[in-house]
Each structure stands twice: as C-alpha cells, then as structure tokens.
Structure 1
Amino acid sequence: MTTNASPSASSASPPFSGSCLTLTTPADILAAVPYLVGFHPSDSLVIIGLDRGQAKMVVRWGLPLPPDALAPLPPLLDREGVTQVVIIGYGAGDVVTPVVDEARLLAAKAEVHVGEALRAHEGRYWSYVCDLPACCPAEGTPYDPSTSQIAAEATVRGLVALPDREALERTVAPVTGPVRMAMRRATADAIAELRSRLAAAGADLDAFARHYVAEGLARVRSALTTHAEGGRLRDEEAARLGLDLAITRVRDEAWTLMRDSHASLWKDLTRRLEPRFIPPAASLLAMAAWRAGNSVQATIALERALTIDPAYSMANLLMHAVQNLLSPAIMRDRMPTPAELDAAMGRAHAGWLLPLVNLLDEEDPTVPLE
C-alpha cells in the first residue's frame, strides 16, 4: 500500500508489491523511495512498512506537518500487518527531526520495530538510530540514488521516478494549444445542442430528463468500452460526456462500474474538459487511481476537482478517505450495482438536470491555448 499527499496521506499498493526489497543500506533505501512514491521527494516524510522483508505500505506527507497528521498511522500499521518500518525525512533538520521523532514514538507504541530512521538533505543522509562516527559521521554521508542496484531494478521493471511532485501534477494538467481550442468548440456545440433540446422539450421536462439520462448512461458505457479497446473519445464525444457526468446518476454509473483500467479515460477527460466540467471526471480518476495503487495521482486529481469546486461532495468524500489512510477496499466492497442505484434513486426527473443546467450558464476561467 503506497500513500501520498500534501500535507496528508492516502492509500495504494507499492510498485514492488509481491517481491522482496533488499534494503541493506541507507543508500538502498533512499534509492527505492522515489520509485515507491513516484517522484523524488523533498520537504517530505516517508514511511515504508515491511513484513518479512516485503514492502506492505509506503506513506508520504509533505512537510511541515499540520497538527495530528500522523494520528492515522498506528491503525494503518496494524491493518497492513506491518512488523517493521523505515522512516525517512527529507529536508532541514529543524523541520525533519521533530516529525521523525513523532513517527518513531508512534511506531513504538504500536509495537512496530523501527529498522532505520534517516534524514536526507542536499545529497547527504544522517541516521537517527546510529551514532557511530565510522559509519554515520556528523557531517552526513554522501549518496547518489541513481547508482543503486535498486534504481536499476526499478528501471528494468518500467518504473519511473519523476523529478518532483510538480512533474506529476503536469501529467493531469489541462491540454493547451489546438487541442484546447478544439475542445472549446466541441463544448460550445454540446451546450448549444442541449439548450436547443431543452427548449424543444417545453413543459415536459421530466420525460426529457428520463431520455437524456438514459443517453448519458449509454455514453458512459460506450466510453468505457472505447478506452478498454485502446481507443480515445472524439472531441464531440468527450464534450457530451463531460456534460453527462454533471448529472449525479450518470456519474454514479461510472463509479459503480469502476475498474482499475478506467483511469486512462478519466485522466484524458480531466485534461481535456473545460474547467467547470472537470470535478466529476477528476473524482472518477481519483477513485480509479486509488483503487489501482496510484495514490499520488489520486490526490492530485482530487486537488484539481476541489480547486474548481470546493464543495464537490464526491471529491470531499474521497479526500477524507485518503487523508485518513483508509483502504480503498472499504469502498470497493460497498459499491451498489446500477440496478441498486435505479431502485434507490427512482425514475429520472427534471430536478436531476439542475446541476447541469446551472453549469451551462457559468463561464470557465481562461485556459492557455499554447
């Protein structure tokens, strides 16, 4: 389980899951961390939980920590069956040392052995559990993670450690240039078409809502099939689906059908949709990423959603889960089926369209075209 967030943390599976990490030296530990969290951390606290030499979980927090940020750690260690932890703080000593001390104390209270505790800063590391000058000099020990066998193994496995968290954020950044211009045109056309259909429906909006929601459910399923087969939605398809997902029942269809492989669709839409239509797609991306073990991407996607709409309920629900180090299994095992959603929500009616209609009149902040 790999966790990441700033300033809190989230849950997933480590990329080395199923194999033993031979972390024989502090340099090996420091070489492994970037591949475990997905980027080279700075100003961070990272905790690796192991059992019989196998990585069971990895947690990262951005520093400095808010009060009680480490409170969910002991239950997590217990749930994941962790018997030993390695603690690494990245940054200056006055920031890192207090949080490493707190993490060591919490591990001890949970009866989990601290195998190593390190501080890394500007190409050197220091150990908090070794005070022998011969191996842990006061001035620190130089290290180069790129020369470790761990880094070589990760590269062979196809794992990537991006330079920093900002590089990960750019992987879900809005598209620009001609692609953005094309999506703006497609979105404007989709909005104009919907407005025309609403006007033609007249007073019979309940019947129109039932028809429109049925179309949206079909478009969700078609989009999932397209991506599962290696395809990509055309601009007009993506724009229509962006409108559809503003309707809770349509969005929940995608949530109910969630598979780890669906992340590519929601990532594509998070990048391509106009900002006001992003929160549902970004939240679905977060759910898919969290389930698949990519909690870094999950957290970044939720930040995208909540920056646009701080009150978006699905994003807030998922953010609470990842910040409290909850397992994605708690949602995976409790998701209703589409039939159960229909039974619970009843027939579609005009009120279901209100969130979408409200978005039609909003203006998006300018997204660069180049």
Structure 2
Amino acid sequence: MNPHSEPSKHTGDIHSTPSAANPAAENPSHTSRTPHAPKPSVPADPPSASATSGPTAAADPTDATETSSPPGPAEFSNTSIPSDPTVPLAPSNLTASTAPPPSHPSHSSASSDATKAPSPEAQVTLRGPAELADALPYLMGFYPDDSVVMVALNGERGRFGGRVRLGIPTDTAQWPDVADQLAECLISAGQERDARPAAIIVYLCQEPAAGESGKDVKDRLRPLAQRLRTACGALDVPVLEALCLSNGRFWSYCCPDFRCCPAEGTPMAMPGTSVMAAAAAYAGMQVRGSLKEMEARLAIRTGPRAAEQEKALDAAAGALVPRMLRGEAAVAVRRDTLDLAGAMIHRFRQDTPSGSNRARDACDDALITDAEAADLILGLQDRVTRDRAAEWMDGSAAAPALRLWRALARRCAGGYAEHAVAPLTLAGWVSWSTEDGPSARVALSRALAIDPDYTFAQLLHRAINEGLDPEPLRRCLREQHREAVSEAEPAAPAATKTPQPTKRPGPSRPAPAARPRGPRGGTGPGTRTTDGRGRRRAGRDGDRSRR
C-alpha cells in the first residue's frame, strides 16, 4: 500500500503534490522536491463545515489514552480550533486566522462560518515546518506530549479543520492498525460534515527516554510516521507534512534535504516569540501546558496521606452505604451530601489560592478534611446526587466547584479509584460549561479510562467532540433546579437558608453555597451490599451512575 501524496521541498514555503501510487514513496528519501508543485486535487468549492478532533473522539479521547496503555479511541472534535487557521495549499503559504471562533458553534453555525473568506486583518501567515511545529499547542490548547496528532486541511485555502489525537502505542505491533484507524477516523468524520480533507498534517510528539536523544526518538517513530502517510494516501488524501517534535527540536519526515532539515533537527522557537504566539496572545487564546501537567491535576494521591484517606473512605462506606440502600435514609444522605458540597464550594470560593497549578491544588487539598472528602466521594456515587451537583456549573459557583471536583478525584485513594469517575465527570462538565474544552476532554478521558461504560461521561465526551453547545444541558439543569426548589417550598415554606451539614472536625466551615433544596426523585445506588473492604464498591456497583 503506497501513499498517494509526495510532500515537496521545504525551501521557502510549503508545497504539496499528489502522486499516483509510487513504490518509491514508501521511502521518505524519494520525496518529490519540486519547488513549485501543482495544487493537490481538492473539491471545486470550499467545504461547508470543518471538523476538529482532539484532547483529545470518534474513535476518541484519546486524550483519554495514556501512552503506557494500549491505544484507545482517538479523540475527535467537531468544534472550530482555537485559532481557526487556514492553510492555502497553493500558493504555498500557511495562513492562520486569529479571530476566536464562536464559543460553542453548532453544526449550522460551523457550516456558515466555513464558507466565509477569512478577514485579512484576522490572518497570520505561517511559512514552513518551523511555524507549523510552533503552532501545534495553539491548535490543541495544550502541548500533546506522547501523542500522535493529525490535522485536516480543508478546501482550496487549506483551512485547518478536524484534529485527532492518540497516545503513541508502546507496542509497535499496534502501529499499522492504529494508523489505519486514525486516518479513517479523521477523513470519514470530515466526509460526514461535507468537509473531506484536501490534505493532512501529522505530528509525532514524544520526549526522549533515558539514554535517548531527540534524534533517536525521531528514528524510532519513523515507521509510525510512514504508516500514517501510507494510510492517508490509501484513502486518497495526501500528507502535506509529517513532523517529529522531541527535546525542544523538530524533524521533518517528508524532507530529506539536510540543507533545510538537518539531521540534528531544528530548534523550536522560544516560547512566546513566534508569529503564532503573538497572534494567540492578541486573540486571548490560552495554552494550558502539557497534557501530562493537565493529567497530574487529576491524579490520585499516593503515599502516607493516601492511606489516611483510604481509612476515612472505609469509615464513610460503612456508615453511608447501608443508608443509601434504604428509601427515606437515601433521601437524607442525598440532602447531607449536597449540603456538604455547598459548604465546601463556599469555603473554596472564600479562599482562592495563587501560584502554580501544583501550589493551587495543594492549597485546595488542605481546605477539605479526609472525612469530608470521603463523605462527598461516597455520596456522589448516587446518580441523583451527582446530577444535582452538576447544577453548580456557571456563575460564581463554577470555579470553586471545579476545584472541589478535582480535589475529590485526587482523594479516591487505594481501592476507591473507581469512585473517581463521578468527580472526574463533574470536573469535565464544569470545564466544558465554562468553555474549557481541552480540560474537559482530559477529565472525561480519565473517567472513561476507569469506567468505559459510564454513560454521563460518554455523552459529555461525545457532545464535546461533535462541537455541540452545552447551553441546552445548562438550561435543562436550571429547570431541574427550579422544579426542585418549587417542590421543596411547600414542605418547608419558612426555610430561608440551606441547612448546615453535620459538624465535622477540620477547618471551620462557612455558610454553604446556594444549591437546589431537595432531590427530584430517583433511586439510590442499588441493592448490592458487602462486608468489610468490599463495602467500598457497593455505592457504585448497584447503580454505577451509568445513566
């Protein structure tokens, strides 16, 4: 199987040349070097919509997939990329629009935007592989370490469209299947939206292992790059460029000319100095660090503190799970859990930390005791409670709620790792609701890695990848809140404050944040009970909140 495209020489601007099946094309050294290559064959009219795949998945997250694990579904997103770049395939310029896209474009709005010519004032021209390499974090919203990323170029102007990301499999035997699936995912997703890619750019991002250099990484990943080029060529979509990013340098797999692409690689631009960085800063776009840094904010704690947290979870499971399995007692547990969550959100709001992400997370961890965290983690295993907690999604409650859900995910220590799915999903929901798609994908990907059948996480992840607007779900939750309040008012007409949760040792608790007054109904976590350490799973195994 031979690729149907041959990238051109990298002197000056980038050109692309489709080719017929060519046995020599299997070897990158046989790449076409024509400085003024003709245009690739593209549809006569620009596509009416663009897809974006990413953190992040049609096959997706695959932000969700860690590189140490077998590959999972590739992350695919249909939303506009942050910088909305366009890449003319001929003449050989790379043009990026810095006008931010609509916050959450619907399919119809994406279609109309894609047919408009970009405003000259809103464009940045990217020339050559160096600026393509520098643009990657701005296309994704983070630096996708240990990842393969494919970006679609749509229409005559080569508008950046769909993006798909997957953790690089450690098992090289998986590379052929992974390459075929990624190419099929990106191209078919574009076709479904009448935006079949005219070309594709491939990025392979991985830092050297112990004893390796960046060049060693480039050589080790070369077969994967070639498999990706072959897979795309088999579907009649040329790979315009394939880059390896490692150890602060980049290499091109498509240009064998050492004069423009030296064997030792080309240094990446200093952060904040490139044309794309300047355009992104002007447009208010953010890069949230690396994927590993984002995942670290959700990682479960280990060590002596984890052992203490696990003891608190054991105690909470013994006290709460039997009550969660009984009708009226289950309602009381929901009420207590929401009361406590409201109090914690108020506490987090009153104490906003500063500094690095690690320092802020450490401050958040100190704001909640092991017992409080355990009660919340167990209580959130109830589907109704979790759905009610999702109402803290916007306004002044959103930021402290997100911090709380992240802190709870980190506290699911030892045998309670599966209990992290609920707070991770809530963290993903609040991130998406506040227009932070990359963080939402990371959180939801981790949730689905723990429990692939968790329906709430599945639905949110799919909605993000398809570019849907979260506002309909926000409206639904607001209506749920109003109904719950109206149901609670006849039973407690004199109530003017949210009841305080039972007093526990630890930091003093300010008044709780406003929240829904009572549950809308539903059932508890199920009917399964176990003794001893097995009880810790009962809260999730009965219902597992998979609705």
Alignment TM-score, normalising by the size of structure 2: 0.50
Deviations 1:169-221 (A, max 9, x none): 3332112345424423433443344368x39x9xxx42222222233333344
Aligned to 1:354: 526
What is the Cα-based RMSD across aligned positions, in Å?
4.6
Aligned to 1:272: 411
Q: Within the alignment, does 1:71 sit opposite 2:160 as a pair? A: no
Match 1:317 to one of 459, 469, 472: 459
Aligned to 1:326: 466
Aligned to 1:39: 143
Max radius of gyration: which structure? 2
Aligned to 1:61: 166
Q: 1:358 to 1:166 in 2, by over 3 A?
A: farther
Question: 1:144 is aligned with what amino acid?
Answer: P
Q: Within the alignment, does 1:95 sit opposite 2:224 as a pair? A: yes
Q: Within the alignment, does 1:120 sit opposite 2:262 as a pair? A: no
Higher helix share: 1
Do 1:50 and 1:82's aligned partners in 2 also have CA atoms closer than 8 Å? yes
Task: State the distance in 1 between where 2:457 and 2:472 align.
Answer: 19
Task: State the distance in 2 between where 1:53 and 1:226 align.
Answer: 49
Q: 1:53 to 1:22 in 2, by over 3 A?
A: farther
Do 2:145 and 2:292's aligned partners in 1 also have CA atoms closer than 8 Å? no
Aligned to 2:331: 210
- Kindly indicate whether structure 1 or structure 2 has the higher relative contact order, using CA contacts under 8 Å at least 6 residues apart: 1
Q: 1:132 to 1:183 in 2, by over 3 A?
A: closer
Superposition pairs of residues 1-370 of structure 1, within 5 angstroms:
3=54, 4=56, 5=62, 6=65, 7-11=73-77, 16=83, 18=100, 20-37=123-140, 38-39=142-143, 41-42=145-146, 44-47=148-151, 58-63=163-168, 64=175, 65=178, 67-69=180-182, 70-71=184-185, 73=187, 75-76=189-190, 87-90=201-204, 92-100=221-229, 102-103=231-232, 116-120=240-244, 123-126=249-252, 128=254, 142-147=265-270, 149-150=273-274, 153=278, 159=287, 161-162=289-290, 165-194=291-320, 198=323, 205-230=326-351, 232=364, 233-235=367-369, 236-259=371-394, 261=399, 262-274=401-413, 275-292=417-434, 297-321=439-463, 325-329=465-469, 331-335=470-474, 336-337=476-477, 339-340=479-480, 348=521, 351-354=523-526, 361-362=534-535
Q: 1:104 to 1:358 in 2, by over 3 A?
A: farther
In structure 1, runs of 5+ residues without a counterpart are: 109-113, 365-370
Do 2:338 and 2:385's aligned partners in 1 also have CA atoms closer than 8 Å? yes
Question: 1:87 is aligned with what amino acid?
Answer: I
Question: 1:9 is aligned with what amino acid?
Answer: E
Task: State the distance in 2 between where 1:328 and 1:54 align.
Answer: 20
Q: Please report how far the alpha carbon of residue 47 of structure 1 lies from its aligned counterpart in structure 2 after TM superposition.
A: 1.1
Question: 2:407 is aligned with what amino acid?
Answer: D
Question: 2:268 is aligned with what amino acid?
Answer: P
In structure 2, runs of 5+ residues without a counterpart are: 1-51, 57-61, 66-72, 84-97, 101-121, 169-174, 205-217, 353-363, 485-518, 538-547
3-state SS of paired residue (2:393): coil
Do 1:13 and 1:292's aligned partners in 2 also have CA atoms closer than 8 Å? no
Q: 1:308 to 1:53 in 2, by over 3 A?
A: closer
Q: 1:176 to 1:25 in 2, by over 3 A?
A: same
Task: State the distance in 1 between where 2:321 and 2:144 align.
Answer: 48
Q: Please report how far the alpha carbon of residue 271 of structure 1 lies from its aligned counterpart in structure 2 after TM superposition.
A: 0.8
Do 2:74 and 2:166's aligned partners in 1 also have CA atoms closer than 8 Å? yes
Do 1:84 and 1:115's aligned partners in 2 also have CA atoms closer than 8 Å? no
Greater mean alpha carbon deviation, residues 92-101 or residues 244-253: 92-101
Do 1:13 and 1:293's aligned partners in 2 also have CA atoms closer than 8 Å? no
Task: State the distance in 2 between where 1:67 and 1:83 align.
Answer: 16
Do 2:298 and 2:406's aligned partners in 1 also have CA atoms closer than 8 Å? yes
Q: 1:132 to 1:145 in 2, by over 3 A?
A: closer
Alignment TM-score, normalising by the size of structure 1: 0.70
Q: Please report how far the alpha carbon of residue 240 of structure 1 lies from its aligned counterpart in structure 2 after TM superposition.
A: 1.6
3-state SS of paired residue (1:71): helix
Do 2:152 and 2:197's aligned partners in 1 also have CA atoms closer than 8 Å? no
Q: Please report how far the alpha carbon of residue 44 of structure 1 lies from its aligned counterpart in structure 2 after TM superposition.
A: 0.9
3-state SS of paired residue (1:147): coil
Q: Please report how far the alpha carbon of residue 249 of structure 1 lies from its aligned counterpart in structure 2 after TM superposition.
A: 0.7
